[in-house]
Amino acid sequence: MVREKIILLISLIPLFFTKAQTLLLEENFDYTVGTLTTVSTDWSESPSGSVDIQVLSSNLTYTNYPSSGIGNKIALNGGVIRSGVIHSLTTQSATGTTVYFSFLLNVTSTVDMDINTSNGDYFFNFQEAASSANRGYVYVRRGANSSKFSIGLAKSSSASLIWYSTELDVASTYLIVVAYTFISGSDNDAVMLWLNPDLSGSEPSADIAITAGTDASDIGYIQFRQRTSSGDMEIDGLRVADDWSLAPLPVELTSFSASVIDNGIELNWRTETEVNNYGFEIERSSTPLGKIWKTIGFVNGNGNSNSPKEYSFIDKNITDGKYYYRLKQIDNDGTFTYSKIINIDSDKPSRYELDQNYPNPFNPVTTIKFTIPQTNKVTIKVFNVLGEEVAEIINQWMEAGTHEVNFDASDLNSGIYLYKIKAGNFVTAKKMTLLK
């Protein structure tokens, strides 16, 4: 996340690089279709039952959520004697710590749910490592009719249960965020819930906040359950973090790419919005697993911005070989997050190439990689099956090298498309499939 720009003396900068935000768990259920506890070793059955939680093909999407549209999803089928699943976390218990759990929820049926005048049933909670006690329950119940449902939150038992004031729609995807804050004292810790929170800035006020009830001694596990009256639903895009900016907030860095050019490797990246962005450290590694990183440069951020910003950096100190790069985005208060790692081979290309886009099929963003052996004007356009141009991705002069560009097809319908490159006399095209 990116924050307000301030002027700092260079000699003081190291003092600010002390606090790191931690993403404790990211789970996009990118497994083969089947029983979750069979296709993944990270999840265990708890409690046991006769009907298991399943991994389904396709995924859930939510605008600006970083774990949207990735991998597959899981299905919870409420009813009698059904199993649950549990996943361990790095145990959290320090006073002042807040743990955020965010995930996408799509209720598919309310047939098994309690009616709207009852207390409903829960499908989510976290668990203490020390005692296996459950805390932070998320409840559901059927609404005024079978196409509606309500969501609620309880701290340590149903005695503290509070329902969200507005009924929700079946077959719609919602972003749910639950948080637990360890507060000094006894039985005063806070559990909170947000429904479809604003992802454009800092942490908003919670829709539900509860302090009444027995405190948790720690948080060591996360659990999904198929209970007697919890209904049927799909879950996807699970994130657990100790900071709001890593749990529900979007990744402000929307693209990061590398290209071989005549005098080195050029890195390009883009942000959609920035909040308090001090800047970016550029780090490079030549080891395959990226275990040894070297800081090779720094680019100032734009502080606060609600419009897209483009950045670039040229790494001139290279020889032939493969290199790995990442960005360390630093806030004004010294907190920082890392970008994804990208890699590139610095050997100069000898021929034109257009690679297959990846991922493919995709939704809604995919990457197109191409190589040109000399400086050329490059155009890449997208056409539908009728041969009609629907998008222009690139139309500019580019230096020799291997390049990657992202294509966002949010405005297009599902289907098969052609992407066509023209660079000098080189013209070729490939198919890609958009699945929404």
**What CATH number does the domain containing 57 carry?**
2.60.120.200
Judge if 230 and 296 occupy the same domain.
no
Q: How far apart are CA 378 and CA 176, in angstroms?
A: 43
Alpha-carbon distances, residue 384 vs 63, 192, 429 (angstroms): 24, 46, 12
Q: Is residue 386 part of a domain?
A: yes
Domain end residue (candidates: 320, 345, 370): 345
Asked if 285 and 327 touch (Cβ cutoff 8 Å), the reply is no
Buried-state track 111-149, b at ≥16 Cβ within 10 A, e below 16: ebbbebeeebbbbbbbbbbeeeebbbbbbbbbbeeeebb
Judge if 158 and 135 occupy the same domain.
yes
pLDDT of residue 348: 67
Judge if 87 and 57 occupy the same domain.
yes
Asked if 151 and 165 touch (Cβ cutoff 8 Å), the reply is no
Which residues does the chain have with pLDDT short of 50? 1-20, 250-251
- Identify any residues that bridge with 293 across adjacent strands, giving them in sequence order: none
Q: How far apart are CA 230 and CA 1, in angstroms?
A: 35
Q: Is residue 366 part of a domain?
A: yes
Q: Is residue 206 part of a domain?
A: yes
What residues make up the domain containing 424?
A: 353-434
Q: How far apart are CA 112 and CA 123, in angstroms?
A: 13
Asked if 315 and 327 touch (Cβ cutoff 8 Å), the reply is no
Q: Is residue 197 part of a domain?
A: yes
Judge if 124 and 189 occupy the same domain.
yes
Judge if 191 and 258 occupy the same domain.
no
CATH number at residue 327: 2.60.40.10
Judge if 210 and 322 occupy the same domain.
no
CATH number at residue 414: 2.60.40.1930
Domain end residue (candidates: 345, 373, 399): 345
Q: Is residue 2 part of a domain?
A: no
Q: Which residue in 361, 358, 356, 365 sits closest to 408, CA to CA?
A: 365
Judge if 407 and 296 occupy the same domain.
no
Q: Is residue 16 part of a domain?
A: no
Q: How far apart are CA 384 and CA 329, in angstroms?
A: 38
Q: How far apart are CA 365 and CA 240, in angstroms?
A: 24
Q: How far apart are CA 294 and CA 219, in angstroms?
A: 35
- Indicate the residue type of 334: G
pLDDT of residue 384: 95
Structure-block tokens of residue 260: 């071989």
Q: Is residue 6 part of a domain?
A: no
Q: How far apart are CA 359 and CA 316, in angstroms?
A: 30
pLDDT of residue 291: 63
Count how many domains the chain has: 3
Judge if 162 and 263 occupy the same domain.
no
Q: Is residue 247 part of a domain?
A: no
Judge if 309 and 375 occupy the same domain.
no
Structure-block tokens of residue 157: 């038992």
Judge if 145 and 79 occupy the same domain.
yes
Q: How far apart are CA 157 and CA 152, in angstroms?
A: 12
Q: How far apart are CA 26 and CA 68, in angstroms?
A: 12
Asked if 420 and 428 touch (Cβ cutoff 8 Å), the reply is yes
Domain end residue (candidates: 214, 241, 268): 241
